[in-house]
């Protein structure tokens, strides 16, 4: 079955830049989406179609794509950005939705 | 206000059944593909099932195929998930989500409910 691979954890200091990667063979053909989930809360969509930002999401969140890897970048990380981040896409059959395993971002 | 509210979760024995409901409000429910996504305690997100706006296309994750049935009632702005032959590994928070249709491919969940907990245990 198709998988998206993310690093389990990442630690950054406030004000630094966090880059979370997500790898998958179908990513050159399928859009990627990113979600932020804080403890006890439902996920929130922060990036769609690789690099688009929904209204209400701070400009410090951005997305990019290169080959089989997509990247969520958080510039000028703030304490409130500490959360789990999940990438999501579809497999090459265009039927199945797949989530990455999630990356726990810790703001030191 | 755009909102999804799930209900129907609870404690059920292995092999039992449960029906989840999701009430939508604040948007034209009948225009959107809807989905169920679950999250086991302390684990990541797992897509469960999708249903297109007119119920023409329905898809399931392999882990639930043959046991779960997704359906919708556009007149009532409601989404359902009938879960049969439940197993311990189905224990999770179940979220109702909306696909905004950014792309013709599945995915992108822009609205999420608060989730309903399903516990499968004897």
Tens of pLDDT along B19-68?
A: 999 999 999 999 999 999 999 999 999 999 999 999 999 999 999 999 99
What pLDDT, in 10s, does the model give residues B68-103?
A: 999 999 999 999 999 999 999 999 999 999 999 888
CB contact under 8 A, B113 and A42: yes
* A-interface mutation test, from B98, B107, B115, most A Cβ less than 10 A away: B107
Beta-bridged to residue B22, according to DSSP, are B6, B79
Write the pLDDT tens digit of every residue in A32-89. Answer: 999 999 999 999 999 999 999 999 999 999 999 999 999 999 999 999 999 999 999 9
Q: What's the pLDDT at B8?
A: 97
Contacts of residue B56 in chain A, CB cutoff 8 Å?
none
Which residues in chain B have their CB less than 8 angstroms from residue A35's CB?
Answer: 45, 109
pLDDT reported for residue A63: 97
**Nearest CA-CA partner of B110 in A31, A13, A53, A81:** A53
Nearest Cα neighbor of A50 from A2, A103, A88 is A88
Query: B32: closest CA among B64, B79, B69?
Result: B79
Residue A32 to chain B, least CA–CA distance (Å):
8
Distance (Å, rounded) from C-alpha B20 to C-alpha A8?
A: 31
């Amino acid at each position: 079955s198709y998988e998206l691979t993310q690093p389990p954890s990442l630690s950054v200091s406030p004000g630094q830049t966090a880059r979370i990667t997500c790898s998958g063979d179908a990513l050159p053909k399928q859009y990627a989406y990113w979600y932020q989930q804080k403890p006890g809360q439902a996920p929130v969509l922060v990036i769609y179609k690789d690099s688009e930002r929904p209204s209400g999401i701070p400009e410090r969140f951005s997305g990019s794509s290169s080959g089989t890897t997509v990247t969520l970048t958080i510039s000028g990380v703030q304490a409130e950005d500490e959360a789990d981040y999940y990438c999501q896409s579809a497999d090459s059959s265009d039927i199945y939705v797949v989530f990455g395993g999630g990356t726990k971002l810790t703001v030191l | 206000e755009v909102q999804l509210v799930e209900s129907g979760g609870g404690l059920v024995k292995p092999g039992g059944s449960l029906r989840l409901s999701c009430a939508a409000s604040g948007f034209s429910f009948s225009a959107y593909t809807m989905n169920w996504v679950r999250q086991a305690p302390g684990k990541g997100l797992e897509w469960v099932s999708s249903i297109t706006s007119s119920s023409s296309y329905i898809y399931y994750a392999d882990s639930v195929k043959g046991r779960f049935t997704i359906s919708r009632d556009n007149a009532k702005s409601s989404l359902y998930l009938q879960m049969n032959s439940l197993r311990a590994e189905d224990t999770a928070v179940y979220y109702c989500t909306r696909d905004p249709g950014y792309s013709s491919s599945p995915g992108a969940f822009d609205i999420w409910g608060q989730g309903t907990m399903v516990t499968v245990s004897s």
